[in-house]
């Protein structure tokens, strides 16, 4: 199947005589007009940024994860190292856990470069607490912008191990819904909080309940109550501000009512709340991923403008207006070694010196 798909191509290039239930299903859905499924069985286009790197990078039928180098015979899915790069995790960042867990950690993360641009909008860097920290994409971006992690929490022990090794040692494995964990965290924050620096609470509660992917968009999803815990934590910890991050699907859930509730709840704790939908591809990330950020500031009622984009997708018509062209998949990955299907390759050396600023950034030490 994979050999039949050229760079930038998808399931439509797969010969009809290759039997696959998944393909038959995709073809049926397509013919009935229920979505193009244009990224399914997708092969990356080397000259464009990637599509969203989800938690399913091991499933060709669920997205665009086939390596771009068709002529070079790279008939395989991208490796975890390559996926992490498309998420802007530097090469020194070592994910912990099983293969499935690492896929989840990579796919769930906020691209650190995007988080970095968000953090830089918040004024003088201070300290931050990350609820739902995962592997630490959001936190790493904050660190890159000069912020210091205070403490973090996540339910998943593997994500906690990754966070502890790569971002900050002070991270709790537990559920924020557990009152004992919640209270212990609050107490610790009270002890550690410096008096001379701003403190922000950041976090991206699990998004499956809000995501348009899958059919689980429901206010009844128990995971949506995790938002309430986030809000409660802000009420009790009284930080100088917060950053709530989520998937764009949150905007349209319940015809926008759910997002209205979120803004209303979060507004109670601060003087001003702003929200932005940002495209990672406009912030130096080689990936078309969108995320929603709600930013609250305790003492500033004015709206905060979104960060200025630094890169943009060429659209063929307008000029780039002085903004650099978005980073392509080739610019992101070309120095990584060729692999056979299923090979991890994270221990293999680079094939050449870094080509361009993105590869230099990814290869820079801690
Ligand atoms: C979207 S991911 C966060 C990604 C992270 N912000 C990053 O940039 O890497 C959501 C995380 O919430 C965690 N989580 C789910 N339920 C939780 C709970 N009850 N308490 C704490 N963490 C929880 C999951 O394990 C997952 O790592």
Judge whether 207 counts as a catalytic residue. Answer: yes
| Span from the CA of 202 to the centroid of ligand 1 (angstroms) | 12
In a domain, 98, yes or no: no
Residue nearest to atom 19 of ligand 1 (CA): 175
Instruction: Write the DSSP string, 23-84.
Output: HHHHHHHHHTTS---TTTTEE--TTS-B----TTTT-GGGSEEE-S-TTTT--SBPPHHHHH
Please give the pLDDT value at position 316: 65
The answer as to whether 19 is a domain residue is: no
pLDDT at site 257: 84
**47-72 burial by CB neighbour count: b if 16+ within 10 A, else e?**
ebbbbbbbbebeebbbbbbbbbbbee
Q: How far is the CA of 329 from the centre of ligand 1 (A)?
A: 27
pLDDT number for residue 74: 98
- Residues spanned by the domain of 232: 107-312
Q: Give the number of the atom of ligand 1 that is nearest the alpha carbon of residue 176.
A: 20
| 189 C-beta closer than 6 A to ligand 1 | no
- Domain assignment present for residue 58? The answer is no
161 lines ligand 1 (CB under 6 A): no
> Would 183 be classed as within a structural domain?
yes
Give residue 256's pLDDT.
87
Query: Is 321 within the bounds of a domain?
Result: no
In this predicted structure, what is the pLDDT of residue 214? 44
Q: Please tell me the distance between residue 160's alpha carbon and the centre of ligand 1 in angstroms.
A: 10
Scanning the structure block, which residue is given the tokens 């040692």? 169
Which domain CATH number covers 151? 3.40.50.150
pTM: 0.95
- For position 221, what pLDDT does the model report? 56
Q: What is the pLDDT of residue 366?
A: 84
Q: How far is the CA of 321 from the centre of ligand 1 (A)?
A: 38
Tell me the three state secondary structure of residue 254.
helix
* Cα(102)–Cα(135) distance, integer angstroms: 9
Overall domain count for the chain: 1
The owner of tokens 């399913």 is 56
Residue nearest to atom 27 of ligand 1 (CA): 134
Q: How far is the centre of ligand 1, averaged over its atoms, from the C-alpha of 105 (Å)?
A: 9
pLDDT at position 213 is: 42
User: In this structure, is residue 305 part of a structural domain?
Assistant: yes
Residues ≥6 apart with Cβ < 8 Å to 98: 158
CA of 104, closest atom in ligand 1? 27
- The rounded distance, in Å, linking the Cα atoms of 105 and 115 is 16
Among the listed residues 296, 295, 324, the one whose alpha carbon sits nearest the alpha carbon of residue 308: 324
Ligand 1 pocket residue status of 207, Cβ below 6 Å? yes
Ligand 1 atom with least separation from CA of 223? 16
Residue 322 pLDDT? 78
Say if ligand 1 is within 6 A of residue 138 CB.
yes
**Atom 12 in ligand 1: residue holding the nearest Cα:** 132
What are the respective helix, strand and coil percentages of the chain, to the nearest 5?
Answer: 35, 15, 50
Does residue 155's CB lie within 6 angstroms of at least one atom of ligand 1? Answer: yes
Q: What is the pLDDT of residue 77?
A: 97
Taking alpha carbons only, the member of 251, 259, 243, 260 closest to residue 297 is 243
Residues of the chain with pLDDT under 50: 209-217
Residue 56 contacts residue 64 (beta carbons within 8 Å): no
| Ligand 1 touching residue 141 (CB < 6 A) | no
The verdict on residue 39 lying in a domain is: no
- Report yes or no on 274 lying in a domain: yes
């Amino acid at each position: 199947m994979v050999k039949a798909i050229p760079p930038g191509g998808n399931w439509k290039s797969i010969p009809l005589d290759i039997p696959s239930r998944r393909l038959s299903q995709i073809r049926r859905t397509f013919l009935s007009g229920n979505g193009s499924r244009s990224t399914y069985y997708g092969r990356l286009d080397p000259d464009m940024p990637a599509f969203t790197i989800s938690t399913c990078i091991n499933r060709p039928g669920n997205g665009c994860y086939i390596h771009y180098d068709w002529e070079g015979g790279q008939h395989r899915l991208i490796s975890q190292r390559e996926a992490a790069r498309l998420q802007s995790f530097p090469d020194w960042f070592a994910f912990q856990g099983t293969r499935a867990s690492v896929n989840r950690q990579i796919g769930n993360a906020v691209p650190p470069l995007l988080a970095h641009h968000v953090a830089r909008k918040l004024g003088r860097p201070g300290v931050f607490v990350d609820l739902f920290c995962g592997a630490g994409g959001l936190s790493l971006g904050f660190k890159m912008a000069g912020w210091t992690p205070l403490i973090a929490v996540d339910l998943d022990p593997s994500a906690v191990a990754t966070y502890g090794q790569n971002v900050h040692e002070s991270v709790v494995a537990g559920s924020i819904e557990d009152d004992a964990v919640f209270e212990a965290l609050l107490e610790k924050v009270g002890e550690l909080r410096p008096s001379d620096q701003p403190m922000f609470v950041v976090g991206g509660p699990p998004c499956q309940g809000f995501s348009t992917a899958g059919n689980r968009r429901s206010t009844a999803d128990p995971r949506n109550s995790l938002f309430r815990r986030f809000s409660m934590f802000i009420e009790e910890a009284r930080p100088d501000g917060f950053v709530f991050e989520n998937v764009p699907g949150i905007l349209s859930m319940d015809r926008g009512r759910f997002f209205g509730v979120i803004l209303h709840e979060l507004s109670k704790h601060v003087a001003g709340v702003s929200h932005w939908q940002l495209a990672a591809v406009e912030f130096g990330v080689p990936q078309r991923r969108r995320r929603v950020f709600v930013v609250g500031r305790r003492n500033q009622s004015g709206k905060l403008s979104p960060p200025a984009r630094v890169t943009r997708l060429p659209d063929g018509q307008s000029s780039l207006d002085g903004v650099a062209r978005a980073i392509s998949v080739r610019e992101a990955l070309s120095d990584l070694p060729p692999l056979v299907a299923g090979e991890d390759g994270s221990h293999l050396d680079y094939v050449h010196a870094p080509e361009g600023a993105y590869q230099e950034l990814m290869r820079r030490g801690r």
